[in-house]
Amino acid sequence: MFEILKHFESKYGTLKKKGLRIEGLSMIDPKRKKHVIMVSKPFIFDNRQLPKTYEGLDIKSKIEGDLPKEFAFKKDAVKKEYVWAPLKFEKYVDRCSEDIRKQFGNPNMTRQEMLDALAFGSFEEHKKKSLKLMSEGKIPPFKMN
């Protein structure tokens, strides 16, 4: 298993320049002995550059640092508000598109590319999954527009 981590680090280690921190292996389910590769990254990070899984292990990531004001929430409101609601990504991209382009070093980046980069690799997939989780009652309801 450590070999997989070494391969992951050699393949994706260049993303450290962009703020990625590879934290190592972590067991998330002791009963089934399920391990993941833990990483942390800044909010403004091109998630399309990271796979969801690597050689059979899921990639579990967390955001390091402050979130933009669109994503701010009160600690006691966590159960009432979905932090990663799709509309929040859209509002953030609409407000800060020039800064985002600068941060990514791509002055021609489209709105959709920014949404995909920030919203875990695919904005449309995230939106679809969020709506499904909302309809199942697993996340708090949110407005789409």
Provide the domain limits for residue 11.
2-63
Please check whether residues 38 and 83 belong to one and the same domain: no
State pLDDT tens for residues 84-101: 999 999 999 999 999 999
Domain count of the chain?
2
**Does residue 145 lie in a domain region?**
no
How many degrees, rounded to 5, is the angle at CA 47 between CA 104 and CA 68? 65
State pLDDT tens for residues 100-145: 999 999 999 999 999 999 999 999 999 999 999 999 999 988 876 6
**Does residue 96 lie in a domain region?**
yes
Please check whether residues 73 and 90 belong to one and the same domain: yes
Please check whether residues 83 and 46 belong to one and the same domain: no
Please check whether residues 103 and 56 belong to one and the same domain: no
3-state secondary structure of 51: coil
3-state secondary structure of 28: strand
**Does residue 141 lie in a domain region?**
no
**Does residue 140 lie in a domain region?**
no
Comparing CA positions, the residue from 86, 93, 83, 87 lying closest to residue 63 is 83
pLDDT interval class at 31 (50, 70, 90): confident
Please check whether residues 75 and 119 belong to one and the same domain: yes
C-alpha span between 41 and 55 (Å, rounded): 21
**Does residue 142 lie in a domain region?**
no
